[in-house]
Amino acid sequence: MRLMPALASALFLASFAAADAQQLRGTGDLGIVVERASGSVVIVDVSKRVAIGRVSGLGDLSHASAVFSPDQRYAYVFGRDGGLSQIDLLTGVLAKRVMQAGNSIGGAISDDGALVAVANYEPGGIRVFDTATLTQVADIPATGANGGTSKTVGLVDLPGRRFAYALYDAGEIWIADFSEVDFEGTVAPRITKLSGVGKLPYDANVTPDGRHYLAGLFGEDGVVHVDLWQEPLKAVRILDNYGRGEEKLPVYKMPHLEGWAAAGDVLLLPAVGRHELIAVDARSFKETGRIKTYGQPVFAVARPGGRHVWVNFAHPLNDTIDVVDVMTLAVVHRFKAGPAVLHLEFAPRGHEVWVSVRDADRVQVYDARTFARKAELEVKAPSGIFFAARATRIGQ
């Protein structure tokens, strides 16, 4: 006897649900934790606060970062050894991997999810790949106006299938526009080059609306600002000489502007070599205050909603976390999390924050309101923590 189409469909769906109910999982609730010493990442369930898998064979992950496909299924991991790895979060396997350079320092994924770009120290420049196949689409050497090659840093995605990045040695900022590039590579990307921006731009970020690109300067006190809505584009110096007249301190670890805090109308930027954050008005880009911190800030991460910013520090003061109130620009909570706190990542709605404590082989989960520890995961030498919800945000 033949079943009616509707009944057959219902029976199929029922059997499918019964067979796969235990395997179904939402990709938006997943993330990865980098195990920097073993070349692996741990896949985590964010809501359940548990590890659900491990992917190995990813090379040197000593400065690894990751971005995610728009459907939040795939993580693209950028290794320090130049490896670019595509990880399937649902199946827990290494789907694809290419060695694209000799030394790389992070990357970005285009707003449409079609392209993934990698910033390279060696040989310099950026290389861009088709996210589906990891086939190279473009190779853009970083040759500055002075004719020399340069390391590239501060690579972020911009609206309109564009990428922004800084040339560390050349003191330039470039914008690469791939909006008219097809996958045959028959149309070259358009490159806008801004030169003379300052000495040694070392890291950068873009505001959550995709409008403002800011790069910190390591060779001098100051920050470079590019308003990406302005035509023609130009680089403007802000926060000039923020340390003038004060004793310079040794820099134990470079702060990460890619982990800065954009909280409402305030930006909190780590000051290079100083025990403080600089508060900047997000409209005028003028300094509005300083926050004395426990040590030299590395990451300043805003809780979603923007009221608090959590800050970790460079060695030898890297066992402590400060929580800063954006309204008062004061540290409202300080605690010892453990030896070598390397990274912080908030749950998408901000109710929890995950903290990697490398030398304790632990990831700790804290209540973002009460600061109470809620959970702990055993992870080998954890560093970067990246949740798939980043796929929905510019510059992440």
pLDDT at 16: 38
Residues 202, 292 share a domain: no
Residues 125 and 205 in one domain: yes
| pLDDT for residue 8 | 43
Q: Tell me, what's the pLDDT at 334?
A: 98
Q: Tally the C-alpha atoms within 13 A of residue 40's C-alpha that lie toward its C-beta.
A: 13
Look at residue 257 and give its three-state secondary structure: helix
Residue 362 domain-assigned (yes or no): no
pLDDT at 202: 86
Whether residue 23 is contained in a domain is answered as no
Residue 383 lies in a domain: no
CATH number of the domain to which 262 belongs:
2.40.10.480
Alpha-carbon distance 235 to 352, whole Å? 37
Distance CA 290, CA 276 (A): 7
Q: How many domains does the chain have?
A: 2
Q: What is the pLDDT of residue 1?
A: 46
Give the domain-ending residue among 190, 217, 250. 250
Flag whether 360 is in a domain: no
Among 41, 121, 126, 52, which Cα is nearest to 85's?
41
pLDDT at 21: 43
Pair (232, 270) in one structural domain: no
Check: CB of residue 121 under 8 Å from CB of residue 114.
Answer: no
SS3 state of residue 17 = helix
Residue 357 lies in a domain: no
Examine residue 52 and state whether it is found in any structural domain, yes or no. Answer: no
CATH of the domain at 231: 2.130.10.10
Q: Show the domain range for 156.
A: 100-250
Q: Are residues 134 and 192 both part of a single domain?
A: yes
| Residue 37 in domain | no
Question: Under DSSP, is residue 225 helix (H, G, I), strand (E, B) or coil?
Answer: strand
Q: Are strands 201-206 and 190-194 parallel, antiparallel or unpaired?
A: unpaired
Average pLDDT for runs of 10 along the chain of length 396: 47 41 79 95 97 96 94 97 96 96 93 96 95 95 92 96 96 96 77 94 90 89 92 92 61 58 85 88 92 94 91 95 96 97 95 97 97 97 96 90
Q: What is the pLDDT of residue 243?
A: 65
Which tokens sit at 17?
Answer: 């649900």
- 177-186 contacts, C-beta under 8 A, 24 or more apart: 178/110, 178/115, 178/128, 178/137, 178/138, 181/137, 181/138, 183/114, 183/130, 183/137, 185/137, 185/138
Show which of 215, 250, 285 is a domain's final residue. 250
Residues 341 and 312: beta-carbon distance below 8 Å: yes
Would you say how long the chain is, in residues? 396
Asked whether residue 232 falls in the same domain as residue 128, the answer is yes
pTM exceeding the 0.85 threshold for the entire prediction: yes
Picking from 67, 149, 58, the residue whose alpha carbon sits closest to that of residue 106 is 67
Tell me which residue of 38, 64, 42, 37 sits closest to 54, measured CA to CA. Answer: 42
Q: Which of 344, 353, 347, 300 is nearest to 326 (CA)?
A: 300
